[in-house]
Amino acid sequence: MLTTDLENKLSGRKISPTAMRLRVLEYLLSQEVAVSLADVEKGLEHTDRITVYRTLKTFEEHSLIHSIDDGTGATKYALCEADCEPGGKHHDLHIHFYCRLCNETTCLPKSALPSLQLPDGYRSEEMSLTVKGVCPNHPKEKTY
């Protein structure tokens, strides 16, 4: 992707396009699965862990990415849908799938979260659902 396209994507979310932010965004755009902080560090040479972490947090605050707790102990990050609003107002509520063989987490944006009726007095602020099993890359593997 051209640098001006990356800059426009960041500017559109009111994020200043620093060199590190451009590198992290370019890396995220090249990924097909959600990635952890460690994955981003490995994917980008000569990076400072704290700077990468702050960059991911800035992206999340401006709804450029969303975080995923897939139960592995490492937070994963994936790009948001275009209609997510800056300020953490996510509209891309969808299921995430964790493959126990690939150890990869994938967003399934066409699989919406089921509606949930909470008892009176409870107010939902966030909802996530991670399905664990075997992805299509392992069709002959048994699931439990």
> Is-contact 86 62, C-beta < 8 A?
yes
CA dihedral for 74, 80, 86, 87, sign (positive or negative): negative
What's the confidence (pLDDT) of residue 114?
Answer: 80
Judged against a pLDDT cut of 90, whether residue 111 lies above it is answered with no
What's the confidence (pLDDT) of residue 105?
Answer: 96
Residue 144 lies in a domain: no
Residue 142 lies in a domain: no
Q: Which two three-digit tokens encode residue 112?
A: 């919406």
Residue 143 lies in a domain: no
Residue 97 lies in a domain: yes
Maximum Cα interatomic distance, the chain, rounded to a whole number of Å? 52
Structural domains in the chain (count): 1
Can you give the CATH number for the domain in which 36 is found? 1.10.10.10
Model confidence pLDDT, tens digit, residues 45-104: 889 999 999 999 999 999 999 999 999 999 999 999 877 776 656 666 789 999 999 999
Model confidence pLDDT, tens digit, residues 2-60: 789 999 999 999 999 999 999 999 999 999 999 999 999 999 988 999 999 999 999 99
Residue 141 lies in a domain: no
What's the confidence (pLDDT) of residue 101?
Answer: 95
Residue 140 lies in a domain: no
Mean pLDDT of 115-128: 86
Q: Side by side, which strands form the sheet with 130-133?
A: 104-112, 94-99, 130-133
Q: Which residues contact 25 (CB under 8 A, 6 or more apart)?
A: 6, 9, 10, 59, 64
| Residue range of the domain that includes 63 | 3-133
Judged against a pLDDT cut of 60, whether residue 143 lies above it is answered with no
Question: What pTM, to 2 d.p., does this model score?
Answer: 0.85
